[in-house]
């Protein structure tokens, strides 16, 4: 009910996709950069990746919470001034508080989820399942697949060609890899 009252669902979807894209692209940069410089210890990639996950997650949680809370409180106060009534104990007030937290968890959780997907092969390398060079390849494939999936989801939301959206987000990942490799060659 709170999501309907506040019309939060489309905003949460945007937070999820945008920050999921950020999480994937950030880890893509860490992974390609590590590969280019020849990092052969998986714990370095895992630690850098988890550090990025933590930073993106905390940024998303606190940034979205504070932003949503400020916007929701402004709208609530404007409505109170217009109606000349105190809405502090109303469904609107409760909904505003709830969606601020909801937005924070979606915004912070999304980049953590997509970033963790990218470092799973390196965690498995620590467990002896893969050698690190295989982990790089598997991680790149997983990350590109995540980007493609986010694009498919956007295409479905837009009710347009989901495959085209997927290809565009995939192309962004491939372009990032290409630029990183070219920069590494300099």
Please state the pTM of the whole predicted model.
0.87
Hunting for tokens 């502090």 — which residue is that?
88
Q: According to the model, what pLDDT value does residue 71 have?
A: 87
Q: pLDDT tens string for the chain (186 positions)?
A: 877 777 778 888 888 999 999 999 999 999 999 999 999 999 999 999 999 999 999 999 999 999 989 988 898 898 888 888 887 888 878 788 888 888 899 999 999 999 999 999 999 999 999 999 999 999 999 999 999 999 999 999 999 999 999 999 999 999 999 999 999 877
Cβ contact 111:60 at 8 Å: yes
Q: According to the model, what pLDDT value does residue 140 have?
A: 97
Hunting for tokens 């495959």 — which residue is that?
163
Q: CB-based burial of residue 30 (10 Å sphere; 0-12 exposed, 13-18 middle, 19+ buried)?
A: buried
Angle, helices 91-126 vs 42-83, to 10°: value is 170
Q: CB-based burial of residue 151 (10 Å sphere; 0-12 exposed, 13-18 middle, 19+ buried)?
A: buried
Q: Closest Cα partner for 34 from 137, 166, 142, 165?
A: 137
Q: Closest Cα partner for 105 from 16, 31, 178, 18?
A: 16
- Write out the two tokens for 136: 């790089």
Q: According to the model, what pLDDT value does residue 138 have?
A: 98
Q: Cα 173–124–144 angle (5° rounding)?
A: 10
How far separated are the first and last CA of the chain, in Å rounded?
A: 55
Q: According to the model, what pLDDT value does residue 72 have?
A: 81
Query: What count of residues does the chain have?
Result: 186
Instruction: Give the HSE-up count for residue 120: Cα atoms under 13 Å, Cβ half-sphere.
Output: 15
Distance CA 16, CA 20 (A): 6
DSSP conformation class of 127:
T
């Amino acid at each position: 009910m709170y999501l309907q009252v506040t019309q939060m669902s489309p905003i949460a979807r945007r937070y999820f996709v945008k920050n999921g894209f950020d999480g994937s692209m950030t880890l893509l940069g860490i992974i390609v950069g590590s590969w280019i410089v020849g990092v052969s210890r998986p714990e370095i990639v895992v630690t850098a990746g988890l550090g990025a996950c933590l930073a993106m997650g905390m940024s998303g949680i606190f940034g979205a919470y504070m932003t949503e809370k400020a916007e929701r409180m402004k709208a609530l106060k404007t409505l109170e001034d217009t109606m000349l009534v105190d809405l502090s104990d109303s469904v609107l007030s409760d909904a505003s508080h709830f969606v601020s937290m909801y937005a924070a968890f979606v915004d912070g959780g999304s980049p953590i989820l997509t970033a963790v997907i990218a470092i799973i092969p390196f965690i498995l390398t620590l467990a002896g399942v893969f050698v690190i060079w295989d982990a790089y390849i598997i991680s790149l494939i997983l990350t590109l697949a995540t980007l493609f999936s986010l694009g498919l989801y956007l295409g479905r939301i837009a009710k347009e060609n989901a495959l085209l959206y997927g290809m565009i987000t995939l192309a962004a990942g491939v372009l990032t890899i290409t630029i990183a490799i070219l920069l590494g060659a300099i």
